[in-house]
Amino acid sequence: MCFRVAMFSLHTSPIAQLGRTRDAGGMNVYIRELSRELGRGGMYVDIFTRRSDPHTPFIQTISDRVRLITMTAGPAEPLPPGALYPYVAEFSRRVARFAGGQEHPYDMVHSHYWLSAAAAAPLARAWDLPHVTMFHTVERLKGQQQGQPVEMSAAPVAPRDHATAIRIESEGRIAVGANCVIVSTEHEGEQLRRLYGLSSSHTRVIPCGVDLRAFTPGGADDRAVARRALGLDGADTPILLFVGRLDPIKGIDLLLESVALMKTPARLLVVGGDPAGDPEVERLRARAEALGIAERARFPGAVPQSELPRYYRAADALVVASRYESFGLVAVEALACGLPVVASAVGGLPSVVRDGENGLLVRWRSAEAFAGRIDALLGDSALMARLRAQARPSVERFDWRRIGDRVRDLYQTLSVEAERAAVCSCF
């Protein structure tokens, strides 16, 4: 019997170019790669996303047994997540109509991000199916890291605006109503259990994965080749790397300030955004110039994920100065390539970056603290060699095959529980 999954990614397509906008990042990789792994394991997956371009095909094949289905809901143009809630009900109706015309029904509903969960929840109830959700970011937890006071309870909080109020209320309702909430780390699970009063059985820790066949370490020759390909002259000049969306929560301003304070005259590559007229890229360039590091900071823009290993191999360290990360996928990718990571000790990052083992953690959000730790790494060849040696082995547990097995196991558990509940309801 074929097992079929309805996967929801309403606000962003899993095949969108990463880092080009604030809405395309690690979550896109997670959905795309998880779906491919489920397909390799024999499951059929339909991923539903919202149409943001009138020319996007209705159905696209991502891989064997995996389809991307683009639904019209609201205007067929890019919209920020905060503007999409009014179109959730329309999205659900169109998915229901599509599902009703399919030969085989779905067996599982899996949603990503709160907007997707809001669209998926009524369908899961109507179809009498288990609903698995993963928030990726939770508004109250994210706000806490941005300096907004948040009580770790289910009590109401003062919203910053109407859209935020809707999201906060919706996330609480979704967390309680879903059959299971997947969290990427035990720390995130503990936070959600305290925040919403969930039982331990209501959450399942399943981290994000990494393609260990694509992200591999390179030797000295590979490093030289990568640097030449990227136009990085001067093989002895340390290279620092940032990869991700150009979003304030990523702490790029702090990273630029840190580079300006460093004793080591390292170069910085900021991989993300659109260098052709992106206002945020221009602002960051101006900030680098004001700090006196314009000649050492480059902004090549977002690149396809297939090109990222070249950047990881060319660099001396990846720096993640984020205010909050539920997991930190780029850190895992870098470590898989043998690249040490210097990261903020926030969110799920300490579960990936182990201080003094595969990277360094910075526990104070200050430019001085980051500059000091990066200088310490670049100035200690023995430390650098030790961290490089431990980088790859430390993330082998995140191989997508292992992650796919854990998600399939969760699906099976929830399906069996649903069947038992159906039998009991007959008596």
Q: How many CB atoms lie within 10 A of CB 144?
A: 18
Which is more confident, 276 or 422?
A: 276
Q: Name the range with the highest mean pLDDT among 38-52, 151-165, 229-243.
A: 38-52
Rounded mean pLDDT, 334-343: 97
pLDDT band at 1 (very low <50, low <70, confident <90, very high): low
pLDDT at 413: 95
Rounded mean pLDDT, 7-13: 95
pLDDT band at 426 (very low <50, low <70, confident <90, very high): low
pLDDT digits (tens, 9 = 90+) for 70-107: 999 999 999 999 899 999 999 999 999 999 999 999 99
pLDDT band at 156 (very low <50, low <70, confident <90, very high): very low
Which is more confident, 155 or 111?
A: 111
Contacts (Cβ under 8 Å, ≥6 apart) of 241: 268, 269, 271, 311, 312, 314, 315, 317, 318, 319, 334, 339
Rounded mean pLDDT, 307-318: 96
Architecture of domain 220-397: 3-Layer(aba) Sandwich (3.40)
CA–CA gap between residue 252 and residue 240 (Å, rounded)? 12
Q: What is the DSSP string of 254-303?
A: HHHHHHHH-SS--EEEEE-S-TTT-HHHHHHHHHHHHTT-GGGEE-----
Does 4-209+399-425 match 220-397 in CATH topology?
A: yes
CA–CA gap between residue 234 and residue 257 (Å, rounded)? 23
pLDDT at 423: 60
Rounded mean pLDDT, 222-234: 85
pLDDT at 175: 96
pTM of the model: 0.87
Q: Which two tokens stand for residue 182?
A: 């997947």
pLDDT at 149: 47
CA–CA gap between residue 91 and residue 316 (Å, rounded)? 45
pLDDT at 397: 95
* Arithmetic mean of pLDDT over the chain: 91
- Could you tell me which of 262, 275, 245, 314 has the C-alpha nearest to residue 16? 245
CA–CA gap between residue 86 and residue 173 (Å, rounded)? 17
Rounded mean pLDDT, 166-195: 94
pLDDT above 90 covers a percentage of the chain that reads 75
4-209+399-425: which CATH topology?
Rossmann fold (3.40.50)
pLDDT band at 270 (very low <50, low <70, confident <90, very high): very high
Rounded mean pLDDT, 385-407: 96
pLDDT band at 182 (very low <50, low <70, confident <90, very high): very high
Rounded mean pLDDT, 224-238: 84
Looking at residue 396, its amino acid is: E
In the predicted structure, residue 324 carries a pLDDT above the cut 60: yes
Confirm if 90 and 115 have CB atoms less than 8 A apart.
no
Q: What residue ranges do the domains of the chain occupy?
A: 4-209+399-425, 220-397
pLDDT above 70 covers a percentage of the chain that reads 92
pLDDT at 427: 53
What is the distance in angstroms between the CA of the first residue and the CA of the last residue of the chain? 27
